[in-house]
Amino acid sequence: MSLLLPNELALRDTGSLKWTGILTPDGMPTKGAWVAEMDFGTAPEIRDRLVRAVNEGMLGYNPPWLTDAVREATCTFQERRFGWVVEPSQVRIASSVLGALEATITQLTRPGSSVVVPTPAYMPFLTIPEKLGRKAVQVPSLPGWKLDLQGIRAALEDGAGLVMLCNPWNPTGRVLTVAELKELHDLVSGYDALVFADEIHSPLVYGDASKFVSYASLGPTYAAHTVTAVAASKGWNIAGLPAAQVILPDNQLRDRWDRQAAPFTHGATTFGLLGAATAYTLDDAWLDEVLAYISKNLDLADEALAGTTIEYSRPEATYLTWWGWDRPDPAATLRKAGVGVNAGITLGANYGNWARVNAAMPRPLWEETLELAVAALRP
């Protein structure tokens, strides 16, 4: 096994945000089940490449060959894993997916136009538009965590200039179907609006990876209104190494990006680019191992939550799970019980009874987390 499986003391000793960032009300540590990173280290090949870079003194600015390598590797991975053929000339580098989002909002959308955010949503999708002087229009999902197309249409009719598409969907774990993507495309195509496709969790699809389909891959009219952002940070657990990739197959949109948005996306690090280039050119052995390990953790969640009042659907992708309770603020209750999770209210105004729970931890700690959580949320 190539996964690191540290104990709780070791995780705290590293000082990681996941295991030190949330305390109980009386100042005691909590189980790290919140921030979206894994406790398994990274692939040995990535670790070895970074160590080699340190030993060689490769601590300066990004060389052009490395940017080119990441573009090539991004295309290699997208085609091999998902069947999407992209050219290196269509890939741009950004510091992060969120950096790419900020550049898209400020530089590519109509001044003052609002941003449509299907909820529940990754927390910064709700806060970044407001920070930039834009309104984030929350559109709660339909039963089964499906997009509310009528709600999105209403926001577009009201002048929204951007639709957020998180696929796989953080926090619900859904992988949207081609039919759903087509419905969204047919809707957005009737308006002066773009789609920002955050596909950062796409390496973490359980089972057949090809069931994930990138929105912009479905045809030229999809790509014409889409900024697609990906990164190796979630799949290979290197979120501390800033580097994201923006895929822009449409010539006109890519030209707009280069003229207007690119200057606002500096900040990818040499280590981030080395990590991405290495990750994307590996075989699937490490990804398969980590997905198999988390899948067994999800089996335990299925068993622990069955028959309880907690609402839960097993994710189709990602290590994030989404729990509903019959009372407000389960995150506060769990924090008192020693489990640190994300409060649902931060992922959407309609989700105060929900919590986001991270299953990517060593199994003994996950078993303890489930035991504490189920006991705390018992009626």
pLDDT tens per residue, the chain (379 residues)? 789 999 999 999 999 999 999 999 999 999 999 999 999 999 999 999 999 999 999 999 999 999 999 999 999 999 999 999 999 999 999 999 999 999 999 999 999 999 999 999 999 999 999 999 999 999 999 999 999 999 999 999 999 999 999 999 999 999 999 999 999 999 999 999 999 999 999 999 999 999 999 999 999 999 999 999 999 999 999 999 999 999 999 999 999 999 999 888 889 999 999 999 999 999 999 999 999 999 999 999 999 999 999 999 999 999 999 999 999 999 999 999 999 999 999 999 999 999 999 999 999 999 999 999 999 999 8
Who contacts 42 (Cβ-Cβ below 8 Å, separation ≥6)?
236, 237, 238, 275, 286
What is the C-alpha to C-alpha distance for residues 9 and 4, in angstroms, rounded to an integer?
A: 14
Q: Give the distance between the most distant pair of CA atoms in the chain.
A: 59
What is the C-alpha to C-alpha distance for residues 52 and 74, in angstroms, rounded to an integer?
A: 22
pLDDT at position 280 is: 99
How does strand 91-94 pair with strand 244-247?
antiparallel
What is the C-alpha to C-alpha distance for residues 123 and 274, in angstroms, rounded to an integer?
A: 28
DSSP character string of 113-147: --EEEEES--HHHHHHHHHTT--EEEEEPBTTTB-
Q: Which residue ranges form the domains of the chain, and what is each CATH number? A: 8-42+284-377 (3.90.1150.10), 48-281 (3.40.640.10)
CB 323 within 8 A of CB 311: yes
**E strand or H helix at 246, and its extent?**
strand 244-247
What is the C-alpha to C-alpha distance for residues 243 and 24, in angstroms, rounded to an integer?
A: 33
pLDDT at position 364 is: 98
Q: Whole-prediction pTM value? A: 0.97
pLDDT at position 34 is: 98
pLDDT at position 241 is: 97
